[in-house]
A and B are shown apart, each in its own frame.
Chain A
Amino acid sequence: MPPKSRHTQTSPPSSSTPARPAPSSSSSSKASSSSALDAQDIVLSVWNKYLEKTPQRVKLLDSFMGFLAVVGVLQFVYCCLVGNFPFNAFLSGFSATVGQFVLTASLRIQTNPENKAEFESISTERAFADFVFGSLLLHFFCVNFIN
């Protein structure tokens, strides 16, 4: 696989953008505030684009991933607050969320039509079956590990 072409595209320096300085040069407070504005714009545009372009199923997957992230963070915070006495229980619960998150992300990547070229051997159904297989294994391990 050849290296991605983006390496050659990084040439335009930050001075080419007329109004604002580059966000990386955030030495002065002015620059940082403007870059924050910039970032806000970027985030907003990304969010709008996401809402528009993403199919319903992918949004479902994304909400599931968000839920998993929240559960994982909650477990971690609880572990930090209360202590990790049954460490295997914490680990299996936490790694269940992490593993499920990762598997869902994999499913999302594999079913993404933009990545068709990368996964020519894997159909959408196959990706879902793989996801089920991986999740079953994950849950078997977690249930076994939680005692």
Chain B
Amino acid sequence: MAGTEGDQFLKQATGRNTRGMLRVIILCLIAGAAVSSRLFSVIRFESIIHEFDPWFNFRATKYLVQNGFYSFWDWFDDRTWHPLGRVTGGTLYPGLMVTSGVIYHLLRFLALPVDIRNICVLLAPGFSGLTALATYLLTSEMVTSPSAGLLAAAFMGITPGYISRSVAGSYDNEAIAIFLLVFTFFLWIKAVKNGSVFWGALTALFYGYMVSAWGGYVFITNLLPLHAFVLICMGRYSPRLYVSYTSWYALGTLASMQIPFVGFLPIRSSEHMSALGVFGLLQVVGFVEFVRTQLPSKQFQTLLRALVLIIFLVSFGGLVILTLSGVIAPWTGRFYSLWDTGYAKIHIPIIASVSEHQPTAWPAFFFDLSMMIWLFPAGVYLCFRSLTDEQVFIVIYSVLASYFAGVMVRLMLTLTPIVCVASAIAFSQILDTYLDAEMPKLEMKENGTSEPAKVAATAILPDGLRSTRSPLIGVYSYASKLTVVGASAVYLMLFVLHCTWVTSNAYSSPSVVLASRLPDGSQHIIDDYREAYYWLRQNTPDNAKIMSWWDYGYQIGGMADRPTLVDNNTWNNTHIATVGKAMSSREEVSYPIMRQHEVDYVLVVFGGLLGYSGDDINKFLWMVRIAEGIWPDEVKERDFFTARGEYRVDDEATLTMKNSLMYKMSYYNYNALFPAGQAQDRVRGARLPAEGPQLSTIEEAFTSENWIIRIYKVKDLDNFGRDHQSAGAFDKGHKKKRASKRKGARVLRVE
């Protein structure tokens, strides 16, 4: 909003100083709005880390702050993936942790000792202010209009598409990555425009920072070469392009290889080959251009062009051969599933099981981008009108990012910056045209005058039309100006309202505490997660291993501070399948698995009492599928459905379902809460069987207040060497009945 008000001032202000002053004030206001609109969750609840992934980042940051940089770099974490451990220093993007570590030490140096948790919580809002600034810089490079940059900054500051990943407390890689993405693009545009090694090297530096921060750097690695390639294909090769691209690639590739997690990937994997290919192509093109200037001969040109084509084809063919022969790694599943959208569901259920990896629905675009989604194509169209080198970049970026955002929900995040830029271009075009208070004179005959209205008008209207050649250009009545400007102002207001509403209602709820409303309107907070995690933290031995589904691995590691078997970093599919098998098998099968993995406690999430739908029974089928991928003979998805193909938990549930460890753990003793025979599962809407499941190899250790988290202790081996079933039967007094049966089949003692 501040942007449009500033616009009106900018038109009137004449002095450069006034404008600069206004610009600074506006940008500060935008940054303030960007930061403060992200603080809903901190003000409503508390300053706490929200989702699953950020808990690991937080834990790693704490490790970095406590143990120093070098031990963080070589950190072997033996408290995750229990029997295996995780080489954390080599399997994470350290940019986020190092950034907040630097901020932590800087603040201490300034005698402001701030807790590392608060730095982590407030890092994303802080960087969103910087993102707004970077968007301003990027847009100012794109167009000459003075207002477009400020508008884009304002859009970027409050758009829900970006806020969704950067509210206070979401301490995820995207928190700083989007700033780095936009800033890298700004530097790249600057480099291409100036043809300067300095800007190219800065691009490489920030690209290296981006590589250290987020796996989405691959987007940059492919977008910049594509930009260069399209420029070459359009016949716009210039020495500036050579200088900027090669200095970026030579330095940036080396910079990216310094990150241990990336390592040799930039020369070994297919995702990075486009950058290398364009680098080679640019060398050839540059050399050919050089030779061409030496030789005026015309027939030589065709030869040279053929040479370029042949070399391009040969190198492309070589790339294909190298990929097929395995020297260069093919596309990884995560990236490949962006092209073949059905791939993940068939081959890698663990990728398809993440809810963020689903295709985006239309309402999501309107919800996240509001009015920008229909200004966006207009902005891209305007870029086509005056197609300069940097506007080609906008076009490419928007086409690519739109596709990716359509394929995957979480990639809406990379679409948002370009939507802001393009729609700000369109919007500022409208404002620049209609907000000019000066009336064009009717008898103006030529286009050469330097009046801003005229220049702006010629910019929007194409040459060659009769209306362009004839002198009647401009808006002549105050009424029409007022209407259009008024409508735009209303749209901007509505945009602010929409953004605030969406942020407040949809994106500002921590998933650790569940908020609900009591009938009288007061807030009721359900805090079962932390209750259970703190129970684990205080009532179990320090190295008790917790087995749970991988979603909760990071939170257990972060809040309960106990070793886990699997966690959200899904690098070992087999290990996850092992847990899935243990959860979905009979107790007799699961118990040996748990013994082999030294599991002490098993944690399940159960939302049946409260109607909390994200519980483990609803995720159960994914456990089954992932386990089935490894042991197709022992775990079968079909067995969990009734004969009619229904997934039920009530009386008609299949025997496999009823005997699975997950079912037993979830519904153990659940009947006791209700009058006899009336146990009800509020999520599945099912009435449970009258007799609850019996557990023999594990025992209930803790159940949280609303039964959301249930923790079971794995029993030790029986003292008399019996299996747990018979021991349980003995304790209940079934001994006599069994004893008569057991007469017959005895085996000879071997030892």
Instruction: Using CB atoms, name the residue of chain A closest to B387.
Output: A1
Tell me, yes or no, whether A67 is within 8 Å of chain B by CB: no
Number of interface residues of A (CB under 8 A): 52
Instruction: Using CB atoms, name the residue of chain B closest to A142.
Output: B254
Chain A 9-23, CB-CB to B under 8 Å as 1, else 0, gives 110101001000011
Q: Contact check, A102 vs B194: say whether CB atoms are below 8 A apart.
A: no
- Complex Cα distance, B246 from A76, in Å, reads 20
Instruction: Kindly identify which residue among B195, B246, B303 contacts A119, using a CB–CB cutoff of 8 Å.
Output: B195
Tell me, yes or no, whether B147 is within 8 Å of chain A by CB: no
Q: Write the residues of chain B forming the contact surface with A, with a CB cutoff of 8 angstroms.
A: 194-198, 200-201, 204-205, 234-236, 238-240, 242-243, 246-247, 249-251, 253-255, 257-258, 264, 267, 286, 291-295, 297-303, 306, 388-389
Instruction: Kindly identify which residue among B205, B294, B298 contacts A12, using a CB–CB cutoff of 8 Å.
Output: B298
Q: Contact check, A3 vs B234: say whether CB atoms are below 8 A apart.
A: yes
Write the nearest CB–CB distance from A52 to chain B, whole angstroms.
Answer: 11
Instruction: Using CB atoms, name the residue of chain A closest to B234.
Output: A3
| Chain A positions within 8 Å of B303 at CB level | 23-24
| Chain A positions within 8 Å of B240 at CB level | 118-119
| Chain A positions within 8 Å of B267 at CB level | 91
Write the nearest CB–CB distance from B182 to chain A, whole angstroms.
Answer: 22
Q: Contact check, A9 vs B264: say whether CB atoms are below 8 A apart.
A: no
- Complex Cα distance, B80 from A37, in Å, reads 70
Given A87-B264, A99-B254, A131-B197, A137 and B234 contact (CB-CB distance below 8 Å): no
Given A1-B236, A22-B302, A141-B255, A109 and B295 contact (CB-CB distance below 8 Å): no
Between-chain CB contacts (< 8 Å), 15 pairs? A6-B292, A10-B301, A17-B299, A22-B299, A23-B299, A99-B251, A102-B246, A103-B247, A110-B239, A118-B239, A119-B240, A134-B201, A138-B251, A138-B254, A145-B257
Given A110-B243, A119-B239, A1 and B294 contact (CB-CB distance below 8 Å): no
Most chain B CB neighbours (cut-off 10 Å) among A95, A107, A129: A95
Instruction: Kindly identify which residue among A3, A49, A103 contacts B235, using a CB–CB cutoff of 8 Å.
Output: A3
Q: Contact check, B294 vs A134: say whether CB atoms are below 8 A apart.
A: no
- Complex Cα distance, B502 from A74, in Å, reads 61
| Chain A positions within 8 Å of B264 at CB level | 87-88, 91
Q: Contact check, B291 vs A46: say whether CB atoms are below 8 A apart.
A: yes
| Chain B positions within 8 Å of A4 at CB level | 235
Most chain B CB neighbours (cut-off 10 Å) among A4, A7, A17, A141: A141
Tell me, yes or no, whether A31 is within 8 Å of chain B by CB: no
Interface hits, A75-127 → B, CB 8 Å = 87-88, 91-92, 95, 98-99, 102-103, 105-107, 109-110, 112, 114-115, 118-119, 121-122, 126-127
| Chain A positions within 8 Å of B298 at CB level | 9-10, 12
Q: Contact check, A106 vs B389: say whether CB atoms are below 8 A apart.
A: no
Q: List 14 additional contacts besides A98-B250, A121-B196; criterion CB under 8 Å.
A: A1-B238, A3-B235, A4-B235, A10-B302, A95-B254, A102-B249, A103-B246, A106-B243, A110-B239, A131-B197, A134-B198, A137-B201, A141-B255, A141-B258
- Complex Cα distance, B237 from A4, in Å, reads 9
Most chain A CB neighbours (cut-off 10 Å) among B200, B204, B254, B291: B254
Q: Contact check, B195 vs A137: say whether CB atoms are below 8 A apart.
A: no
Q: Contact check, A42 vs B297: say whether CB atoms are below 8 A apart.
A: yes
Instruction: Kindly identify which residue among A1, A14, A102 contacts B389, using a CB–CB cutoff of 8 Å.
Output: A1
- Complex Cα distance, B197 from A115, in Å, reads 15
| Chain A positions within 8 Å of B250 at CB level | 95, 98-99, 102-103, 138
Instruction: Kindly identify which residue among A23, A92, A114 contacts B254, using a CB–CB cutoff of 8 Å.
Output: A92
- Complex Cα distance, B202 from A11, in Å, reads 42
